[in-house]
Amino acid sequence: MSNGTVLLPAAKDVREMLEGLVGRSVTVATGAPVTPAPDRPVSVAVYVDPHMAVNAICVMDLGASAYTGGALALLPPGGCQDAVEEDGELSGMLVEALHEVVNVLSALFNTPGAPHSKLHKLYAPGDDLPGDIEGMLAGFNRLDVALEVQGYGKGALSLVLPY
């Protein structure tokens, strides 16, 4: 699994990628690690290299998942906020939009000299994570950010390299 050539992007790169994708202002600041817990559903996007080895993971809390996906799909902010504050889960439409968000985020790992990274699987909030993926979420080579999508709300995102 260790190839050592995939690099973590800078927080500025994450902000610029998200702003370009959702067409809204996105603020990004240093945040706490996003980790799954029974009372804290997260989405987990798994990226692989051409040999199908996991080379990066994106973990988003419910807020980041709903607000980036909702802004991309031009869904009403109120419905996205309800998903976070009341439902505690994403609608099918939000999961579809989130899939597109995390697919585009794979470009953050595709830097010159790095093996090509592509989205392998998105685990929506509430999905069971395989044990090996869950174990990788504790990696120390990570970028943890708090973000806010203008007009939608706040969330948190962690990018983790599993080596």
> Mind listing the pLDDT tens digit for each residue in 96-145?
999 999 999 999 999 999 999 999 999 999 999 999 999 999 889 999 99
Is 156 domain-assigned? yes
The long-range contacts involving 46-51, CB below 8 angstroms and separated by at least 24 positions, are 46/119, 46/120, 46/121, 46/122, 46/123, 46/133, 47/106, 47/109, 47/117, 47/118, 47/119, 47/120, 48/117, 48/118, 48/120, 49/3, 49/6, 49/115, 49/116, 49/117, 50/115, 50/116
User: For residue 1, is it within any domain?
Assistant: no
Inside any domain, residue 4: no
Query: Nearest Cα to 60, choosing from 27, 102, 97?
Result: 102
- What's the pTM? 0.95
What are the pLDDT digits (tens) for 24-54?
Answer: 999 999 999 999 988 899 999 999 999 999 9
- The number of folded domains in the chain is 1
Residue 6: inside a domain, yes or no?
A: no
Q: Tell me which residue range forms the domain holding 138.
A: 11-161
Would you say residue 71 lies in a domain?
A: yes
Find the CATH number of the domain harbouring 110.
3.40.1550.10
